[in-house]
Amino acid sequence: MRSIASAPGKVILFGEHFIVYGGKAILCSINKRITIESQLSNSDKIEIDSGLGTISVSKNEPLQNIDPVFKPVIYVAQKILQKFNSDSGLKISITSEIPAGVGLGSSSACCVAAASSISGLFSNYSKEEVLQLAIEAERTIFENVSGADSTVCTYGGIIEYSRDGKIKKLDFVPKFQLVVADSKIMHSTSQVVSKVKKFKDDNPQVFSMLCDKEASLIEETLGALKKNDLNTIGAKMNQNQAHLEKIGVSNDLLGSMLGTVNNVAYGAKMTGAGDGGCIIALVNDTNLDRVIGALRSKNYECFAAQIDTTGVEQKVKDSP
């Protein structure tokens, strides 16, 4: 038997960094996916083949010895094999439509898809069980991960997420798309988070004020989202970008990319940790081509993304 599962990537529409300090974030999943196929083997190995490389280790290999690139998937594999007292090994294949390391949730989508695919060899996990295992896997790399990324990769759609783990899926049909443009600058999330903490410690009053402004912005945005009010949503994206620039997580290239779409998109901002990664621009059918054309005229790599409303999907097939 082989078990196949896929999970979507994501973008943060609002609230990155501020959620760490008690705020909210609004995230959405996008129609770019990571697919994982798992199959039991007769060996005592866990073998992974992916676009980031390959690895073959004993299924009892201590986790601290594992390359961080593969550690979350190995964690999931070991936990599932142990839970179901399996003597088998595992062969795991990972294919991705999501660029790695640019803030589009590739790590979280991989954890979610792995949890669903590998558990599917033995059981029928609920989305809640998949999510819990995915967050555990993420924490083998990022100890203080909020769980927001894995949540939206699991459930799909647009969610409101609080730092205490409360989630609310927004019940409306989005009438917009996003254009995602990649700066091609890889970033370290942990380094950027540390940078924000330093800003907070050095400027406590300013940071507190920005947290309050971000909280108000998100509450206003929630109402605009339900009305599909693109003009208001876009204006709030621009305001959110100004907050992120204030705490020092943007850079000149991201600013240039945002300037390129300033007069053609409803609004635009960086998404994710910052100091690189991607920007997102709010569009619909009336300006999609113009936004993509403006970015490509400056040789920025970009693509249109629709909101994925499905989340993680599992399909189990018998071996040929």
- What residues are labeled active site? 149
CA pair distance 276, 181, nearest whole angstrom:
11
